[in-house]
């Protein structure tokens, strides 16, 4: 009889990746949807970021969202920690390397550890830029009601270096999703002959749509379409 | 197909035994017919080496018709070489051009230690099969052939999975040295058949636990395995195995 432990088995570890991955994907949907309110200002300049600020302030102060914030951090840490563990363990499984490395798969599917690390580094910058100031406004200065997130974003993306950092971050996320979305389904065995190509396709479109929207924010702000 | 003779440069991994430090040796070889198989080319090389009083290159092979899974050469960065769905023994020299340099390495994985030159120890696969890749039957009079009805679709799916020859190319190509394609082919094959039902849950658990114990990595779904598998075993088998393992983990009490 088997004596393995599910959570330290190879499939168990991958299930943690898949489950947290699905959760982070659902967070991305909310994040990109709210951010997209910024685009209203291209079509209606008189809005001056008002619609976006209302949504942003709601997200920054609602207590349900506060709880979800904690869950999100835990989910992200679990995803990152398990991912690093899997990457290290898997690397040890081939002590002598090939003279010519195998290439029968896509580069990004083989580089999830690297892409994840880039995303993690990007998150440090990203949270410092936008999350930290709202927390200071809420808990230190107690003036979150007057806090103009929209203006903070517009000001931040006047800096070309920051725009480039954000585009690198979004590109890493793009390739991470291109593989991660379908991989999560496969980890849980949620594919079969009939739906395999549908899931792969859905993953690609999801990555393209989400990341294009994210990338447009710094770009359009920098070239002055959002101001 | 036009017949040609090739002159080639071979860079071959040589290693005395599992403990020794190996390295590449370079050999020049002429008069290789494009009609030859890759292994016949190695036979020519070995004859030459023997005539020169040198040690021939050790390599695994048996059937030489693509069904036993013994041949195992990692050729120019790809297990079993450049042809899709083909074992090393079925790879022919017309896949190469005159003047080519061909780099030949053994399968590389912690769980497949090199025994000598291009021969690796794949007994880890045997132990995984021993852990559950079978159906237990009581001996007695054989059953009537059609006593157990099996839907055609299930029979076909089981047959596709059963095509695995246990060569280990999937492990060799995988960046994680994972044996998931191999394990999943057996688990999916038996999960599709009525005879496989009684041991279905424990099979998935025990075979996967054994895979982990042998030192294979986990599956990150790169699909490198499917791309090089000589029997074109689908990665959907892996999704099925995950499904079986997760279900079994929830339902079977483990000690
Ligand atoms: S799944 Fe394919 S590559 Fe892997 S052992 Fe079986 S036949 Fe060989
Ligand atoms: S020698 Fe049998 S499959 Fe190649």
Sheet holding B74-75, edge to edge: B23-33, B5-14, B101-105, B74-75, B78-79
**Closest residue in B to A110 (Cα–Cα):** B222
pLDDT the model gives residue A5: 83
Shortest CA gap B221–chain A (Å) = 6
**Average pLDDT for residues A38-51, to the nearest whole number?**
89
- d(CA A93, CA B216) in angstroms, rounded, equals 6
- d(CA A38, CA A226) in angstroms, rounded, equals 8
As given in the structure block, the two tokens for residue B40 are 């016949």
Cα dist from A21 to A6, A26, B211, whole Å: 18, 9, 25
- d(CA A4, CA B254) in angstroms, rounded, equals 8
Nearest ligand 2 atom to the CA of B61 is: 1
Q: Where in chain B is the domain with CATH 3.10.20.30?
A: 5-105
Kindly report the protein residue whose alpha carbon is nearest to atom 7 of ligand 1: B164
Cα of B113 to ligand 2 centre, how many Å? 20
Binding-face residues of A in 108-147 toward B, CB within 8 A:
109-110, 112
A105 inside 8 A of chain B by CB: yes
Over residues A175-197, the pLDDT tens digits come to: 999 999 999 999 999 998 889 99
3-class secondary-structure state, position A165: helix
Nearest to A2 among B202, B215, B223 (CB): B202
Cα dist from A47 to B90, B223, B251, whole Å: 69, 48, 56
Interface test with A, best of B107, B199, B221 (most A CBs within 10 A): B221
Nearest to B222 among A1, A92, A105 (CB): A105
- d(CA A74, CA A23) in angstroms, rounded, equals 11
Question: Could you tell me where the DSSP H helices lie in chain A?
Answer: 10-35, 40-43, 50-61, 63-91, 107-110, 112-126, 132-135, 149-156, 160-187, 196-222
Nearest to B89 by CA among B118, B114, B111: B118
Q: Who lines ligand 1 at CB under 6 A?
A: B 164-170, 181-182, 185, 229-231, 233
Beta B114-116 vs B119-120: how paired, if at all? antiparallel
Q: Which has more confidence, A45 or B95?
A: B95
> How many helices and strands, by DSSP H and E, does chain B display?
8, 7
Q: Closest-lying ligand to the alpha carbon of B63? A: 2
- d(CA A150, CA A48) in angstroms, rounded, equals 8
Cα of A199 to ligand 2 centre, how many Å? 36
Over residues A121-132, the pLDDT tens digits come to: 999 999 999 988
Task: Tell me how many residue pairs between chain A and chain B have CB atoms under 8 A apart.
Answer: 154
Q: Where in chain B is the domain with CATH 1.10.1060.10?
A: 123-251
Average pLDDT over chain A reads 93
3-class secondary-structure state, position B80: coil
**Average pLDDT for residues A143-151, to the nearest whole number?**
83
Nearest ligand 2 atom to the CA of B67 is: 3
Q: Kindly state the percentage of chain A with pLDDT values over 90.
A: 76
pLDDT the model gives residue A221: 94
3-class secondary-structure state, position B116: strand
Nearest to B217 among A9, A90, A110 (CB): A90
CATH homologous superfamily for B123-251? Alpha-helical ferredoxin (1.10.1060.10)
Over residues A19-31, the pLDDT tens digits come to: 999 999 999 999 9
Residues of chain B contacting residue A196, judged by C-beta atoms under 8 Å apart: 236
A77 inside 8 A of chain B by CB: no
Q: pLDDT grade, residue A6 (50/70/90)?
A: confident
Cα of B39 to ligand 2 centre, how many Å? 10
Binding-face residues of A in 78-97 toward B, CB within 8 A:
86, 89-90, 92-97
Nearest ligand 1 atom to the CA of B79 is: 3
ipTM entry: 0.91
Burial class (CB in 10 A: 0-12, 13-18, 19+), A47: middle
Q: pLDDT grade, residue A1 (50/70/90)?
A: very low
Nearest to A226 by CA among A29, A19, A44, A79: A44
Residues of chain B contacting residue A178, judged by C-beta atoms under 8 Å apart: none
pLDDT the model gives residue B86: 97
Nearest to A30 by CA among A78, A73, A68: A68
pLDDT the model gives residue B87: 98
B20 inside 8 A of chain A by CB: no
Nearest to A98 among B74, B212, B235 (CB): B74
Q: Who lines ligand 2 at CB under 6 A?
A: B 61-64, 66-71, 87-89
Nearest to A93 among B11, B109, B245 (CB): B109
As given in the structure block, the two tokens for residue B126 are 């045997």
Query: Quick check: A2 pLDDT over 50?
Result: no
Helix (H) or strand (E) holding B171: helix B169-173
| DSSP labels, A28-47 | HHHHHHHHGGGGHHHH-GGG
> Torsion angle, CA of A204/A208/A211/A214, rounded to 10 degrees?
-150
Query: Quick check: A145 pLDDT over 80?
Result: no
Q: pLDDT grade, residue A4 (50/70/90)?
A: low
| Cross-chain Cβ contact B205/A2 below 8 Å | yes
As given in the structure block, the two tokens for residue A154 are 């517009």
| pLDDT tens track, chain B, 255 positions | 678 999 999 999 999 999 999 999 999 999 999 999 999 999 999 999 999 999 999 999 999 999 999 999 999 999 999 999 999 999 999 999 999 999 999 999 999 999 999 999 999 999 999 999 999 988 888 888 888 899 999 999 999 999 999 999 999 999 999 999 999 999 999 999 999 999 999 999 999 999 999 999 999 999 999 999 999 999 999 999 999 999 999 888 776
Looking at domain B5-105, its CATH class is alpha beta
pLDDT the model gives residue A142: 80
**Average pLDDT for residues A140-153, to the nearest whole number?**
84
- Bridge partners for B28 per DSSP: B9
| Cross-chain Cβ contact B220/A109 below 8 Å | yes
- d(CA B144, CA B51) in angstroms, rounded, equals 57
């Amino acid at each position: 009889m088997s004596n393995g432990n599910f959570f330290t088995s190879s499939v168990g570890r991958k299930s943690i990746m898949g489950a947290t991955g699905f959760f982070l994907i659902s967070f991305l949907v909310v994040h990109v949807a709210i951010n997209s309110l910024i685009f209203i200002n291209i079509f209606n300049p008189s809005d001056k970021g008002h619609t976006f600020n209302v949504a942003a302030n709601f997200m920054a102060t609602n207590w349900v969202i506060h709880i979800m914030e904690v869950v999100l951090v835990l989910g992200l840490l679990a995803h990152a920690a398990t991912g690093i563990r899997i990457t290290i363990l898997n690397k040890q499984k081939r002590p002598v390397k090939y003279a010519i490395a195998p290439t029968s798969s896509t580069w990004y599917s083989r580089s999830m550890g690297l892409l994840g690390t880039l995303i993690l580094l990007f998150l440090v910058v990203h949270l410092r830029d936008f999350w930290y100031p709202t927390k200071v406004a809420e808990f230190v200065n107690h003036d979150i009601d007057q806090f103009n997130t929209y203006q903070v974003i517009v000001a931040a993306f006047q800096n070309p270096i920051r725009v480039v950092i954000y585009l690198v971050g979004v590109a890493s996320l793009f390739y991470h999703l291109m593989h991660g979305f379908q991989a999560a389904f496969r980890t849980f065995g949620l594919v079969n002959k009939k739906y395999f190509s549908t899931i792969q396709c859905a993953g690609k479109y999801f990555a393209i749509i989400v990341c294009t929207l994210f990338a447009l924010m710094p770009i359009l702000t920098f070239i002055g379409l959002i101001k | 197909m036009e017949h040609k003779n090739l002159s080639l440069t071979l860079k071959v991994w040589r290693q005395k035994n599992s403990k020794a430090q190996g390295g590449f040796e370079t050999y020049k070889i002429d008069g290789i017919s494009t009609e030859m198989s890759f292994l016949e080319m190695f036979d020519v090389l070995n004859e030459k080496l023997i005539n020169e009083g040198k040690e021939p290159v050790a390599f695994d092979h048996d059937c030489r018709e693509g069904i036993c899974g013994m041949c195992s050469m990692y050729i120019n960065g790809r297990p079993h070489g450049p042809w899709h769905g083909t074992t090393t023994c079925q790879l022919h020299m017309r896949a190469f051009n005159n003047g080519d340099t061909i780099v030949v390495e053994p399968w590389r994985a912690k769980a497949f230690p090199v025994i000598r030159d291009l021969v690796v120890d794949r007994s880890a696969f045997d132990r995984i099969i021993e852990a559950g890749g079978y159906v237990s039957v009581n001996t007695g009079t054989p059953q009537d052939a059609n006593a157990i009805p099996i839907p055609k679709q299930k029979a076909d799916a089981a047959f596709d999975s059963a095509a695995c020859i246990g060569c280990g190319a999937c492990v060799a190509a995988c960046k994680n040295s994972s044996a998931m394609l191999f394990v999943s082919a057996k688990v999916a094959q038996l999960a599709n058949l009525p005879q496989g039902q009684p041991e279905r849950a424990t099979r998935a658990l025990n075979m996967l636990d054994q895979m982990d114990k042998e030192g294979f990595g986990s599956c990150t779904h790169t699909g490198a395995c499917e791309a090089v598998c000589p029997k074109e075993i689908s990665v959907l088998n892996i999704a099925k195995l995950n499904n079986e393992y997760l279900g079994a983990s929830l339902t079977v009490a483990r000690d």
